[in-house]
A = this chain, B = another copy of it.
């Protein structure tokens, strides 16, 4: 063996050896990772003030290194370049997205899952983990649909059926649910082998439809666009019902639209209710929607990616009333189940529905087997159901209830602070734990209070809030996100909003107060320290951003 080759094989033997207990390099790497995690969690700022554009220089080498490298040198990269420039979403002052702190035990389960390298597509690479996945799905199914114990005893480990599917994320979960709905709506029929076999064109033709649509509110998640494209429906066949005064879907409009679709030979593949819109946390009137869906025999899908765990709260669970009538519902593990990224769940009220997307092969996912791959939309998959099972076991119903109740309580606290502070305007009363509001510059506070803001005023406020949120991220002491709402009390105009998501249980009243303090200072900073006088700000910001709001 050449010297070079022998050096390479030395690295490979080190890295692939399962007897590494006494390997000093491996032990040192583990210790350094441990320290790096502590340093990251303890870091003072949410992120460094290096702009993304200036970071790119460290990530421009497209050549794969020739020789294997040492763990030490890679750790230098992690500690030197990478970790100082990521985002500390675990800090209690990070209140910006549906991503925040997760329980610290998950990192060790993450380590375990990674090294076991189980693949739950089939039992030959997972065995007991297949059963654990089925059990975890059943637990969530029961939370949502509350069938009697006898149902679960029968189905929980009956390999011929499945109550749901674990997928990589919320988008894939919505795609899967609507895939099931589409296949069931256009199934086999006399002289027709089903949309799965013959495709969309022939399916619509066979059933005499001009088009196939999905219907929901304008606040549906953008994964609906992805699935409308993917499933061959087309984005133009997403029908968005306007919101009522409380910010959720208008049920009367929904009924009218369904009737109109029937009359004009459009197949309604599903009515989609949202249990926690991404932007405002609002929950649709699921009961009314379920009733309409049932009346017209339409698949009712509930996107409860965010809101499903509200069911754990005795105090708040009624917000979700009607979800038990859904044909399919989804929930994201990485949202309010506080699991790591990478796991969402599709739940099917009636397990038989899943057969509409069943596939089998000859080397795995065999028909008679326990292999999860015969139903799962994905193939090879990590055993992340262990995350789910651990969360449900270690946090428990009462733990999740506490998390939900505290989030909603503190969101109300933030909303109150905003209402009592002229520097801010609350855009909508929060229904759950997302608060949408905006900063109002001093010059416009009086007009805002009197409800006399003009279109141009709102325009300026939009721009200032956008700059404020950018600057806040840059300064890195506190963080919230921003979005744009189209339907507010200001009519159909685009309103830039600041969006606080109160999910980290370590965020106390103190962090919430500091958030507003910080934003007031940043507001002053961008308007004075940058030496913009007010009319100039208007002009400048208008130029910078006009194309954006007008898109």
Contacts and interface: CB of A to CB of B under 8 A. Distances in A.
A351 interface: no
A452 interface: no
Contacts of A152: 62
A244 interface: no
A29 interface: yes
A417 interface: no
A526 interface: no
A88 to B, nearest CB: 9
A112 B505 CA distance: 21
Contacts of A334: 117, 119, 380
A52 B131 contact: yes
Interface in A1-29: 4-5, 8-9, 11-13, 15-21, 26, 29
A161 interface: no
Contact of A481 (B62, B104, B363): B363
A380 B65 contact: no
A134 B55 CA distance: 13
A368 B102 CA distance: 30
A223 B232 CA distance: 17
Contacts of A367: 551
A60 B135 contact: yes
Contacts of A41: 18-19, 115
Interface in A59-109: 59-71, 74, 77-78, 81-82, 85-87, 89-91, 96-109
Contact of A396 (B26, B66, B156): B66
Contact of A226 (B86, B223, B359): B359
A211 interface: yes
Interface stretch (A164-172, A289-297, A316-324, A516-524): A164-172
A393 B437 CA distance: 45
A-side interface size class: 35 or more
Nearest to A37: B115
Interface string A495-539: 000010000111000000000000000000000000000000000
Contact of A62 (B82, B142, B204, B233): B142
A467 interface: no
A259 interface: no
Interface stretch (A121-129, A245-253, A408-416, A419-427): A121-129
A392 interface: yes
B18 A42 contact: yes
A540 interface: no
A64 B139 contact: yes
Contacts of A499: 363
Contact of A399 (B8, B74, B396): B8
A114 B124 contact: no
A64 B112 contact: no
B132 A82 contact: yes
Contact of A129 (B82, B104, B135): B82
Contact of A56 (B87, B131, B167, B361): B131
Contacts of A143: 64
A398 B67 CA distance: 6
Contacts of A370: 52
A183 interface: yes
A435 to B, nearest CB: 14
9 contacts: A15-B395, A99-B125, A111-B111, A117-B334, A199-B212, A199-B233, A226-B357, A226-B359, A367-B551
The 3 closest A-B CB pairs, nearest first, are: A232-B232, A110-B114, A199-B234
